[in-house]
């Protein structure tokens, strides 16, 4: 149950009862909801319990909410409506409730499910969450910040990183009759001047028909996309990074002593823009040893950590360069937001080792470590200075006591140091 904007009645069965809904050639970051994961959870529940799904949704300003009972048609990938009714509600109420049953092993899954909620509260600290588990226990995670991330907007793909199949499909479905107009109309931040300069650099005819290009010329154009330096950086309007204030607020849930966060500039992978946000925390209530928290489009990644690109980057870091060690109380945070996350498995548990993504993670973490190392070194210097002072005070007290005995007079530490 959430108190979001709610789902339009006509959209609810399709969004929750059909696999892989979405657009083709416009890019917009999402948490993945209503594409595969949510529908698969509902499907698994239907298969294991044979019980239908109930959806109740209402939007702000409306005086009724819709209650839909349905099943999933696995063969045709369509929802099957069983019944539907309208119920009165306060116009100020809004949100969606999804009720379904599934069979699972709570005893074995308890730790991971609880950890998922805890990490979700770190990457979306502006949300309040309540989880009532099968043991009758309530996990309450109140919001710790009121700030919300910027909302993503749809955008065209960026030419750098476009792969062959995608380029072919874009050409097949485009109505543009020249290469120049195709580039201007199909890619973001490609105007007339940029298109002309690119085609001249690539040795391609601006007036050529895109659909008439041979496979050799398509491959040539893709290679030129990769190497041409005249393209503007990808727009980040289709992305919704967490934001530094939000990320820092989420990390504070762990109660560390030091927190450093950074956000890298937008980059591009296979025509899809992405932003890497990194954080490093130290000390406080953190346990000894390094810990990695991974997020993709504000979703925690809990499994296959060692094969994830972030884990590989951290293993290669030389922490001694920053005055730190792997047995220090350290926590690393990596959030990647993109219109296409390069997962390496269907389960979407870890991110592949892509050079451009690895580089952004590496630079972001090193920037955090430099700032963190400065703070930790300052703290150690203050601590060492305090230890020296305490040691000297012990010597002075001994000298004062010895002088007092030798002169048969009381020698105070204040008078001794003052003289």
Check pLDDT > 60 for residue 291: yes
Domain contains 275: yes
Q: What is the pLDDT of residue 34?
A: 41
- The CATH number that applies at residue 262 is 3.30.230.10
Residue in the block written with tokens 């049953």: 101
Q: Give domain status of residue 123, yes or no.
A: no
CATH number of the domain to which 65 belongs: 3.30.565.10
**How far is it, in rounded angstroms, from Cα 72 to Cα 39?**
9
* Residue 111 burial (C-beta neighbours within 10 Å; 0-12, 13-18, 19+): exposed
Confidence of residue 393 (pLDDT cuts 50, 70, 90): confident
Q: What is the percentage of the chain residues whose pLDDT exceeds 90?
A: 61
User: What is the structure's pLDDT at 24?
Assistant: 47
CATH number at residue 192: 1.10.8.50
**Distance from C-alpha of 96 to C-alpha of 146, rounded to nearest angstrom:** 21
Say yes or no to pLDDT of 313 above 80. Answer: yes
Range of the structural domain that residue 215 is part of: 164-227
pLDDT score for 184: 95
**124 part of a folded domain:** no
Residue 78 burial by Cβ neighbours in a 10 Å radius (0-12, 13-18, 19+): middle
Domain boundary among 336, 356, 374: 374
248 and 350 belong to one structural domain: yes
pLDDT digits (tens, 9 = 90+) for 362-376: 999 999 999 999 988
Residues 77 and 43 in one domain: yes
Residue 70: inside a domain: yes
- Does residue 109 have a pLDDT over 50? yes
Q: Are residues 341 and 222 in the same domain?
A: no
Residues 173 and 285 in one domain: no
Q: What is the pLDDT of residues 174-231, one digit of tens each?
A: 999 999 999 999 998 999 999 999 999 999 999 999 999 999 999 999 999 988 999 9
417 pLDDT above the threshold of 50: yes
Query: What is the pLDDT averaged over residues 43-70?
Result: 92
Name the domain count of the chain. Answer: 3
Q: Do both 187 and 259 map to the same domain?
A: no
Which residue, of 182, 198, 227, is where some domain finishes? 227
The answer to whether residue 34 is domain-embedded is yes
Query: What is the percentage of the chain residues whose pLDDT exceeds 70?
Result: 93
Contact 298/123 with Cβ under 8 angstroms?
yes
Instruction: Give the pLDDT score at 241.
Output: 93
Q: What is the mean pLDDT of the chain?
A: 88
* Spatial contact of 342 and 351, defined as CB atoms under 8 Å apart: yes
Residues belonging to the chain: 419
For residue 197, is it within any domain?
A: yes
* Claim to verify: residue 221 and residue 249 sit in the same structural domain: no
pLDDT tens digits, 257-284: 999 999 999 888 877 889 999 999 999 9
**Residue 261 is inside which H or E element, if any?**
strand 258-263
Cα 79 to chain centroid distance, Å, stands at: 31
Strands 64-73 and 78-88 come out as: antiparallel
User: Is the Cβ–Cβ distance between 12 and 68 less than 8 Å?
Assistant: yes
Last-in-domain residue among 104, 122, 154: 104
Q: Of 14-28, 339-353, 397-411, where does mean pLDDT reach its minimum?
A: 14-28
Q: Is residue 73 part of a domain?
A: yes
Q: Are residues 93 and 23 in the same domain?
A: yes
In terms of domains, do 271 and 213 share one? no
Q: How confident is the model at residue 347 (pLDDT cuts 50, 70, 90)?
A: confident
Task: Tell me how many helices (H) and strands (E) the chain has.
Answer: 11, 12
Whether residues 20 and 95 fall in one domain:
yes
Q: Give 326's DSSP letter.
A: T
User: Do residues 296 and 368 both lie within one domain?
Assistant: yes
**pLDDT > 80? residue 173:** yes
**What does the pLDDT average to over 154-180?**
87
């Amino acid at each position: 149950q959430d108190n979001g904007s709610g789902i339009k009645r006509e959209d609810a069965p399709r969004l929750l009862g059909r696999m892989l809904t979405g657009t083709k050639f416009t890019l917009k970051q999402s948490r993945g909801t209503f594409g595969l994961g949510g529908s698969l959870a509902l499907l698994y529940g239907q298969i294991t319990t044979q019980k239908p799904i109930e959806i109740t949704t209402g939007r702000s300003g409306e005086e009724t909410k819709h209650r839909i009972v349905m099943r999933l048609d696995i063969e045709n990938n369509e929802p099957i409506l069983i019944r539907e009714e309208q119920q009165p509600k306060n116009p100020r109420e809004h949100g969606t409730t999804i009720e379904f049953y599934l069979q699972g092993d709570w005893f074995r899954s308890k730790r991971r499910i609880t950890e998922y909620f805890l990490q979700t509260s770190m990457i979306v600290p502006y949300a309040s969450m309540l989880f009532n588990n099968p043991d009758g226990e309530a996990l309450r995670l109140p919001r710790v910040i009121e700030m919300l991330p910027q909302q993503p907007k749809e955008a065209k793909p960026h030419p750098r990183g476009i792969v062959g199949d995608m380029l072919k499909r874009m050409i097949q479905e485009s109505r543009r009759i020249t290469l120049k107009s195709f580039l201007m109309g199909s890619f973001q931040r490609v105007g007339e001047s940029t298109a002309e300069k690119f085609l001249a650099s690539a040795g391609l005819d601006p007036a050529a028909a895109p659909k008439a290009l041979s496979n050799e010329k398509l491959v040539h154009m893709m290679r030129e996309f990769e190497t041409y330096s005249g393209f503007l950086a990808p727009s980040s309007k289709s992305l919704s990074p967490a934001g530094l204030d939000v990320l820092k607020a989420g990390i504070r849930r762990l109660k560390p002593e030091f927190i450093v966060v950074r956000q890298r500039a937008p980059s591009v992978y296979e025509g899809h823009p992405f932003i890497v946000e990194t954080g490093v925390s130290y000390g406080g209530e953190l346990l000894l040893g390094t810990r990695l928290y991974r997020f993709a489009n504000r979703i925690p990644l809990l499994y296959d950590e060692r094969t994830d690109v972030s884990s590989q980057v951290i293993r290669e870091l030389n922490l001694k360069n920053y005055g730190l060690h792997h047995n220090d109380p350290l926590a690393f945070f990596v959030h990647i937001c993109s219109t296409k996350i390069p997962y390496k498995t269907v389960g979407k548990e870890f991110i592949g080792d892509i050079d451009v993504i690895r580089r952004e993670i590496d630079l972001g973490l090193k920037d955090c470590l430099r700032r963190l190392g400065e703070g930790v070194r300052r703290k150690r210097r203050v601590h060492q200075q305090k230890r020296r002072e305490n040691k000297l005070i012990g010597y002075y007290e001994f000298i004062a006591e010895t002088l007092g005995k030798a002169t048969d007079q009381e020698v105070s530490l204040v008078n001794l140091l003052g003289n």
